[in-house]
Amino acid sequence: MNDEKNIDFREQTFREILMGWWQSLEMDTGGRAELRRAKSPDEVYVTRPFQAGLIRSLRDSGYKINGAIMDRLATSAGLMAHLRSGDNESGQSIPEAMAAQGPGNRARVSGLRFRRLMSIGDRERNELFLALLRLIRLLKRVNVLELAEAAYWWNDRIRKTWAVEYYSRARDEK
C-alpha cells in the first residue's frame, strides 16, 4: 500500500509546510536571493533552498514528489521568493487586486495585460513564471497561497475563475 500523500492546497499540513518554508526565507536571505535570481522554474529547480528546503520537507512529511510535481512547485516557489511576509495580502483575491482602481480610474492591470496572462497555456511554465513575476511587481501585495496554487495548477479552471473575478470588477477594461 502506498502511503504517500498527494499535493493538495486545501490540506492544512501541506499549507503549513509551504508557508513555513516561505517564512523561513526571511531568515535565509542568501537562499531568498538565490531564488530571486532564478529567471525560470528550471533555475529554481536546481537551487539549494528549493531542493534542500521545500522538497526535502515535503518528502519527509510523506508527500509524493516526482519530476512533474517538482516542475510545478518550482514555479510556485520561485514566485513566492519575491514576496516578503509584509507582502501577503489575504484580504482580496489576485484578480480583485488586478481589477482594483489604479491611476487614471483604470484597473491596476490593463485588460490587454490580463488577456495576455490568460492566453498562457498549461505547459508554458517559463512564460507563466515571467508573467506572474511581472504581476507581483506591479501589484506588490498578493495572497501568497493563492499565487502558489494558481501557479502550481495553472489550467482552464484557474483562468476561468480569474476571468470572472477580474471582469466583474473591471467592467471598463476591454
pLDDT digits (tens, 9 = 90+) for 94-136: 999 999 988 888 899 999 999 999 999 999 999 999 999 999 9
Show the domain range for 20. Answer: 12-85
Confidence band, pLDDT 50/70/90 cuts, at residue 1: very low
Within its chain, how far is the Cα of 139 from the centroid?
13
- Does one domain contain both 111 and 80? no
Supply the pLDDT for residue 21.
98
Q: Does residue 171 register a pLDDT over 90?
A: no
- Does one domain contain both 72 and 28? yes
- Using alpha carbons only, give the angle 157, 97, 112 rounded to the nearest 5 degrees: 70
From residue 33, how far is each of 81, 91, 133, 155, 165 by CA, in Å? 8, 27, 15, 29, 33
Do 49 and 28 meet the contact criterion of CB atoms below 8 Å apart?
yes
Supply the pLDDT for residue 174.
64
- Does one domain contain both 56 and 92? no
Q: What is the count of structural domains for the chain? A: 2
Average pLDDT, the chain: 93
- Does one domain contain both 50 and 123? no
Q: Does residue 3 belong to any structural domain of this protein? A: no
Q: Does residue 162 register a pLDDT over 80?
A: yes
Greatest Cα pair distance, the chain, in angstroms, is 59
- Does one domain contain both 67 and 94? no
What pTM does this model have? 0.92
Q: Does residue 124 belong to any structural domain of this protein? A: yes
The one-letter code for the residue type at 6 is N
Q: What is the mean pLDDT of residues 4-25?
A: 95
Supply the pLDDT for residue 103.
80
Q: Does residue 81 register a pLDDT over 80?
A: yes
Q: What is the mean pLDDT of residues 21-36?
A: 96
Share of the chain above pLDDT 70, in %: 97
- Does one domain contain both 95 and 160? yes
Q: What is the mean pLDDT of residues 59-71?
A: 95
Q: Does residue 147 belong to any structural domain of this protein? A: no
- For residue 17, give every residue at least 6 positions away whose Cβ sits within 8 Å of its Cβ, in sequence order, or none: 54, 57, 58, 61
Name the burial class of residue 119, with classes exposed (0-12), middle (13-18) and buried (19+) by CB atoms within 10 angstroms of its CB: exposed
Distance CA 25, CA 49 (A): 8
To which residue does cell 476591454 refer? 174
Residue ending a domain, choose from 85, 117, 133: 85
Helix (H, G, I), strand (E, B) or coil at 127: helix
Helix residue ranges, H only, the chain: 12-24, 29-37, 41-45, 48, 56-60, 67-80, 94-99, 111-118, 125-139, 144-153, 156-169
Confidence band, pLDDT 50/70/90 cuts, at residue 158: very high
Supply the pLDDT for residue 110.
92
Supply the pLDDT for residue 173.
67
